[in-house]
Structure 1
Amino acid sequence: MVIFLSGCVEKRIVDEINIAIASGFDPSDGDKKFKTTFLMQDFQEDMSVQNRTITSEGDVRREILIGSNRQSPSPVVVGGMRLTLFEKSIAKKGIKDYIDTYQRDATIGTRIFFATTEGKTEELLKGNYGPQGNGSFISDLIEHNIRQGDVPKTNLASFLQDYYQKGKDVYLPHIKKINDKNVDISGLMLFKGSKALYILPSDKMFYFKLLVDRYSKGEFTVSLEDGSEASVHSIISKHRLKMDKKDPLHLSIEINIKGNIKEYTGNKLNPKIIEAITKNLEEKVEKECIQLVKEFQEKEIDPVGIGAYYKTQIRGFDYEKWKQTYTDLSVDIKSDVEIIETGATY
């Protein structure tokens, strides 16, 4: 017996649609809730990429798409989206409604990156940053800095996991347009609930990532008392939270770091200097990380996920009571640095 099955699937030819690779949300210029810019990348015959944007205002996403399609000779689709940007003032009002829309849209992949911006997203998306197109350039920039830089892992999947988890606050890369050819990850936007609270500057991002994520290919420069410097590369890190069972209001955060010394500006690298570099890095990590934790407690945010950790340790955990306890929690940082290889001396 042979059974024939047939079905109807909407066919879309790539050349007959506009695939939005990035989008940005800005405050409306009129009486609408927000303004959205879609970025398309048109591939030319010489393999170059032409950036093209469409901007529309509305109160809901469907209204935005309708408005954008009025400006487009072919349908605008969002299934290929790699990046979404939120202008800083939009993020401070709250991004809950925007995130909810994304998680409900099955056409959008969970690996899409989110970021906040200094200045209008519309202007940032209109730059000309690289031959691969603006959307691909910025998303590649974020991905590269997650893998080998100081940006903690963040995409739609990880963001949603943290956002809906009690006892953990979210964060996003913060991007600034330098000029029409350059953009910069200038820090991390830290959130309280769904609302952006403040920007963690870029010089604190190394320590922040040690607290919330792990390094696989990080690097850091250590300054010694004699004025010499050592560049520690190929940093691998991990951290562990440990509650004191005898005193639950005391928490230790253990940070383990392994790395290679690739450059040293002094005369000669010897075991004594390696020990000094190790000690210097340990002290710096402990000092900076405890300052960050205290800062988070003062601002009543928990990007480290201490509350989520305590929930796994205490039976009958009461989150409402925890919010009052969190600011008084005693925390200490213990850092252990191991130099596993030394390289050139300059």
Structure 2
Amino acid sequence: MTSRVKKVVCVLTLVMCIGCAEQKIIDRLGVVNLIGYDRIEQSDATIRTTIVAYQESQESKETTTITEATNNTSKGARNKINLKTATKNVIGQLRVVLYGEPLAKEGIITLTDTLQRDSEIGTDVFLAVAKGSAKQLLSENNKPKMNIGEFLFHMITKNERRGLVPSPTLNRFLNAYYRKGRDPVLPYLEHVKGEIMITKLALMKDDRLVGTLGHEQGFFLKTLMDNHKFDSFEVKLEGNHLKPFYTSKSPNLFITLSNISSDVKLKLVDAKTPLFHIRVKIMGQMEEISQQMDLQEKEAIHALEREASRSLKKQYEQLIKRLQELQVDPVGFGSEYRSSVRVKDFSSEKWRGMYEHAQFEFDVNVRFTNVGITS
């Protein structure tokens, strides 16, 4: 055997050995894609950490396990979890972090800040609040064969891209928390008839949960935060504002808009008050209307657009009132004020005092790109 042939044989043998070694390592890894945190009251621990990890075998079969441990720090709890499992848990594929509601009400910045300090965890991880406890939400999952971490990740992704959920990434949360004049907002998850759903948006004051918004107000909040696209949204209209085109005895009618795009412009017009002017443009296809109307007449369509604009303006005003009552600013009016006025001693505390008395003028314009069916 020549020297060259020996070298080739040695290289091939080494490659085969490395491949076998890597396969054995993969079989012994638990890939963590979800972590849940809860506040507990024990003599020796204050934090309960629940992890969801999956393991792939040589037969390409995937098994998912849920393990928990308690300690005073998140990493301490994760070390205890490793003592309970036969696999080595790795966190590089973490997708979702859940905070139990009682913990979220106390504040989550300590645990959240720890995530960004871990070099294995990316800043695109989703954060969310669980009704009750994170452990309970995961334990009540009625689909045991489903990888709950992947399911929640894809559900939040879908609703973040074209639904009612503002981006809940670790990066966005920390940016809002550390930026004076803006508060974070996260999806709120709970069980409804055996299914895990995003039922609300969790409003955070700094890092503490102080209130929630339903789906409808969630739509209005997201359209104020930036320009977005939505799959669909239902709008309630008052029939008495649509005469003579609407003759039904029902006081209200509903329209469903689809393929929606929103455009928002914020402007500080009076720094002393302060007073903000907000222009919102909503464009979408009118896919369905709940009552009979003659949509062949252009004036009837214009009447619907005017009433939709009036109805949405009222909803925006109610939303702002709700946010002011809770002293939360997820839209970032404080950030807009700071960049416009250039206040040197600007602080979150100072802005909250101003925000309580701030005034907002809305200019809402709804336009239909197409008219669909009548139900």
214-223 vs 14-23, which deviates more?
Answer: 214-223
Question: Do the aligned partners of 1:207 and 1:289 also contact (CA within 8 Å) in 2?
Answer: yes
Q: What is aligned with 2:308?
A: 281
Q: Which has the higher helix share?
A: 2
Question: Do the aligned partners of 2:109 and 2:207 also contact (CA within 8 Å) in 1?
Answer: yes
Q: For 2:276 and 2:323, how far apart are their aligned partners in 1?
A: 15
Aligned residue type for 2:262? S
2:118 pairs with 92, 105, 123, which one?
Answer: 105
- The offset of 1:213, in angstroms, is 3.2
Question: Do the aligned partners of 1:25 and 1:86 also contact (CA within 8 Å) in 2?
Answer: yes
Q: Judging changes above 3 Å, is the alpha-carbon distance between structure 1 residues 76 and 194 closer, same or farther for their aligned structure 2 residues?
A: same
Q: How does 1:131-210 map to 2 (within 5 A)?
A: 133-180=147-194, 182-210=195-223
2:82 pairs with 50, 69, 73, which one?
Answer: 69
Tell me how large the CA RMSD over aligned residues is: 2.3
Aligned residue type for 1:23? I
Q: Judging changes above 3 Å, is the alpha-carbon distance between structure 1 residues 279 and 130 closer, same or farther for their aligned structure 2 residues?
A: farther
- The offset of 1:218, in angstroms, is 3.5
> SS state of the match for residue 343, structure 1?
strand
Question: Do the aligned partners of 1:49 and 1:131 also contact (CA within 8 Å) in 2?
Answer: no
Task: Give the alignment's TM-score, normalised by structure 2.
Answer: 0.83
1:231 pairs with 242, 249, 256, which one?
Answer: 256
Q: For 1:132 and 1:268, how far apart are their aligned partners in 2?
A: 48
Q: What is aligned with 2:12?
A: none
> SS state of the match for residue 77, structure 2?
helix
Q: How does 1:49-128 map to 2 (within 5 A)?
A: 49-126=62-139, 127-128=141-142
Q: Deviations over 1:54-85 (max 9, x none)?
A: 10001112211210011110211111110010
- Answering whether residue 368 of structure 2 is matched by residue 344 of structure 1, we say no
Q: Judging changes above 3 Å, is the alpha-carbon distance between structure 1 residues 49 and 345 closer, same or farther for their aligned structure 2 residues?
A: farther
Q: What is aligned with 2:26?
A: 14
Q: What is aligned with 1:4?
A: none
1:329 pairs with 340, 351, 358, which one?
Answer: 358
Q: Deviations over 1:139-164 (max 9, x none)?
A: 11111111121111221111111111
1:219 pairs with 232, 238, 261, which one?
Answer: 232
- The offset of 1:299, in angstroms, is 2.4
26-35 vs 137-146, which deviates more?
Answer: 26-35
Question: Do the aligned partners of 1:220 and 1:232 also contact (CA within 8 Å) in 2?
Answer: yes
- The offset of 1:269, in angstroms, is 2.1
- The offset of 1:36, in angstroms, is 0.5
269-278 vs 251-260, which deviates more?
Answer: 269-278
Q: Judging changes above 3 Å, is the alpha-carbon distance between structure 1 residues 310 and 112 closer, same or farther for their aligned structure 2 residues?
A: same
Which protein shows a greater Rg?
A: 2
Q: Judging changes above 3 Å, is the alpha-carbon distance between structure 1 residues 245 and 123 closer, same or farther for their aligned structure 2 residues?
A: closer
Q: For 1:255 and 1:207, how far apart are their aligned partners in 2?
A: 10
Q: What is aligned with 1:260?
A: 285
- The offset of 1:94, in angstroms, is 0.5
Q: For 1:152 and 1:66, how far apart are their aligned partners in 2?
A: 33
Q: For 1:213 and 1:254, how far apart are their aligned partners in 2?
A: 12
Aligned residue type for 2:170? L
> SS state of the match for residue 13, structure 1?
helix
The gaps in structure 1 that reach 5 residues or longer are 1-10
Question: Do the aligned partners of 2:29 and 2:55 also contact (CA within 8 Å) in 1?
Answer: no
- The offset of 1:29, in angstroms, is 5.4
- The offset of 1:316, in angstroms, is 3.0
Q: Deviations over 1:148-189 (max 9, x none)?
A: 211112211111111110000111100002255x11111111
> SS state of the match for residue 229, structure 2?
coil
Question: Do the aligned partners of 2:27 and 2:57 also contact (CA within 8 Å) in 1?
Answer: no
Q: For 1:344 and 1:42, how far apart are their aligned partners in 2?
A: 49
Aligned residue type for 2:329? D
Q: Judging changes above 3 Å, is the alpha-carbon distance between structure 1 residues 80 and 267 closer, same or farther for their aligned structure 2 residues?
A: same
Q: What is aligned with 1:269?
A: 295
> SS state of the match for residue 92, structure 2?
coil
Aligned residue type for 1:81? L
